[in-house]
Chains A and B, each alone.
Chain A
């Protein structure tokens, strides 16, 4: 892995005079699951929006596959990266399948064929949302809705057969999921990275979830990346104390290889 798929350098975002992101340098390689961690207001979602191209930084730039985001056409970019936003809300009474098929929009110009339907089915399967296929999305629970939208992002970037590296941005994808689905989603995200070569960037709040599945984690606080590296290096009591103001101890259960963090005060 030499050139990173996503490379942000000197990112600065200001809301009024307050810096939300301050001189952030950041890179993600294809085949990696990277988790963004940090307290509320640290700039995690803002960084994700900058990486996804939703928000133009006031300084610095983002390169995707070697080209700055400005130079990408909207459709070309849509074929290479998918984004799951926080709490996506659908305006009309579309079915779950309609929503997942929209993930195929950049590939089929809005006219899904049999292959697109097949991919939608497989994506619903993978997100454990197959049983929601014909349901109206506006009637789904928060967790069900999240799984349908996760399936949509899978349909967008997880099934292409060419070698072009792709990226998946997930903003708190596990926020409304139950315990089993949180782990299923993260496990799938990791295997997408390892086996499909996707670069997956996910904002998560559960440090143990990140510790268990992430290839790399970045700890943000006050609009800066405080620490970035392997989960075992980063998720230590001292930096967690520094960022969250919370004391933790690291426990290793017998027969397991990932330590769990326990809050002690």
Chain B
């Protein structure tokens, strides 16, 4: 039997932890980076104006100033830099941001079924967008023209943040963070926001209604460098901050009290995660509209293959999210060519059955 004397010397000959997911964990990041780069290039080659891989690489080299402009076809360079590169970058950024936010919120709520919707950020954005679309029509023409480019993303972003803050305030109890009441407040405010969207849809003209519906289906089309700059300026620092929260999120998996016993400031963590996730998702959704299921599916797949440790989970979920949205946008652009489908239809149509299959497999296999 053990006594404290036997505890004296922690042994040096430690065996490697026998977690079968360990090897997958080492391979995951390089594999996913390769996948993202590959899908990025493929996205650049396909489209109404076909550009082969060599020309794409030459074009990218010219765009980044690595090679002199005369090496590539100027028209290809124009298509790449004007349309395809910003679009693919936005897809990668949005996919990564949504998946990363999903992963941290799942960690915070200690529930693999949480997604950015639970904190009200998506429904808030939808309400803001609907307000912008419908209310803009009431403005006099010169105002409308001047504001049209900014009103929608700004409305969506502001409402996304405001809704999240309201849900967060409601969900706070005196004793500390209360996830249950925050979830309930989220449900109530989602319903309220959709009632607002419903009312605005009812008030809207046919054209506004069409705009509204398409916004809710999500798209990374219409990406421009300035939009990309806004998303990156908000999303990249916030994302980098979120990646640093891996340790406390691991501790939180043991429980809120247990995390506090280990020295985690749980209240502060909750505030930071909710705010950063809302910033990331709000800034993305403002330009892309609602893109469903990525925030739920990507972290889930990563967790099943390399385990739940957030140090590996967070970057891998972000990379997988980027790869998945690049892939989905490829589908959105090619499946019904020459027309183009909203990418949210692809992510949801592909994500939901895949998710169900994963659930079935996990249940049969008795856990990953």
A residues near B, CB below 8 A? Answer: 52-54, 74-79, 81-83, 85, 88-95, 97-99, 102-103, 105-106, 109-111, 114-115, 117-119, 121-123, 125-126, 128, 133-134, 136, 138-139, 152, 154, 156, 158-159, 184, 187-188, 191-192, 194-196
- Whether the Cβ atoms of B265 and A92 lie closer than 8 Å is no
- Whether the Cβ atoms of A110 and B261 lie closer than 8 Å is no
- Whether the Cβ atoms of A103 and B18 lie closer than 8 Å is no
- The yes or no answer to B368 lying at the interface (CB within 8 A) is yes
- Whether the Cβ atoms of B2 and A158 lie closer than 8 Å is no
- Whether the Cβ atoms of A74 and B263 lie closer than 8 Å is yes
| B contact residues, range | 35 or more
Min Cβ gap A234→B in Å is 25
- Whether the Cβ atoms of A118 and B14 lie closer than 8 Å is yes
**Residues in B neighbouring A114, C-beta threshold 8 A:** 12, 14
- Whether the Cβ atoms of A154 and B303 lie closer than 8 Å is no
- Whether the Cβ atoms of A105 and B367 lie closer than 8 Å is no
- Whether the Cβ atoms of B4 and A83 lie closer than 8 Å is no
New contact pairs (14) apart from A105-B263, A187-B3, CB-CB < 8 Å: A54-B257, A54-B260, A54-B261, A74-B263, A75-B263, A88-B258, A92-B112, A92-B303, A98-B307, A110-B311, A117-B14, A133-B18, A139-B367, A156-B262
Q: A95-B17, A115-B10, A134-B18 are in contact. Are A125 and B2 (CB under 8 A)?
A: yes
Q: Taking CB as reference atom, which chain B residue is nearest A106?
A: B263
**Residues in A neighbouring B260, C-beta threshold 8 A:** 53-54, 74
Main secondary structure of the interface of B (DSSP, over half): loop
- Whether the Cβ atoms of A110 and B250 lie closer than 8 Å is yes
Q: A85-B258, A90-B253, A102-B251 are in contact. Are A74 and B264 (CB under 8 A)?
A: yes
- Whether the Cβ atoms of B3 and A188 lie closer than 8 Å is yes
- Whether the Cβ atoms of A88 and B254 lie closer than 8 Å is yes
- The yes or no answer to B68 lying at the interface (CB within 8 A) is no
Min Cβ gap B180→A in Å is 14
Q: How far apart are the CA atoms of A93 and B106 in the complex, in Å?
A: 13
- Whether the Cβ atoms of A91 and B10 lie closer than 8 Å is no
Min Cβ gap A147→B in Å is 12
Nearest 10 A/B pairs, CB to CB: A110-B247, A78-B263, A134-B18, A92-B308, A118-B10, A91-B110, A75-B263, A106-B263, A195-B4, A191-B4
Most chain A beta-carbon neighbours within 10 Å: one of B247, B253, B254: B254
- Whether the Cβ atoms of B4 and A158 lie closer than 8 Å is yes
**Residues in A neighbouring B111, C-beta threshold 8 A:** 91
**Residues in A neighbouring B3, C-beta threshold 8 A:** 187-188, 191, 195
- The yes or no answer to B363 lying at the interface (CB within 8 A) is no
**Residues in B neighbouring A105, C-beta threshold 8 A:** 247, 250-251, 262-264
Q: A88-B254, A187-B1, A191-B4 are in contact. Are A121 and B11 (CB under 8 A)?
A: yes
**7 interchain pairs, CB-CB under 8 A:** A74-B263, A92-B308, A105-B250, A110-B251, A152-B254, A196-B4, A196-B7
Instruction: List B127-145 residues whose CB lies under 8 Å from chain A.
Output: none
Min Cβ gap A93→B in Å is 6
**Residues in B neighbouring A122, C-beta threshold 8 A:** 7, 9-11
- Whether the Cβ atoms of A102 and B254 lie closer than 8 Å is yes
- Whether the Cβ atoms of B258 and A94 lie closer than 8 Å is no
**Residues in B neighbouring A76, C-beta threshold 8 A:** 263
Q: Which of A89, A93, A118 contacts B307 (CB 8 A)?
A: A93
- Whether the Cβ atoms of A194 and B4 lie closer than 8 Å is yes
Q: Which of B12, B17, B246, B265 contacts A118 (CB 8 A)?
A: B12
Most chain A beta-carbon neighbours within 10 Å: one of B110, B264, B368: B264
- Whether the Cβ atoms of A184 and B1 lie closer than 8 Å is yes
- Whether the Cβ atoms of B367 and A138 lie closer than 8 Å is yes
Q: How far apart are the CA atoms of A106 and B7 in the complex, in Å?
A: 20
Min Cβ gap B202→A in Å is 41
Q: How far apart are the CA atoms of A126 and B19 in the complex, in Å?
A: 21
Q: How far apart are the CA atoms of A184 and B257 in the complex, in Å?
A: 26
Q: How far apart are the CA atoms of A97 and B6 in the complex, in Å?
A: 19
**Residues in B neighbouring A117, C-beta threshold 8 A:** 14, 17
Q: How far apart are the CA atoms of A128 and B19 in the complex, in Å?
A: 19
Q: How far apart are the CA atoms of A97 and B22 in the complex, in Å?
A: 12
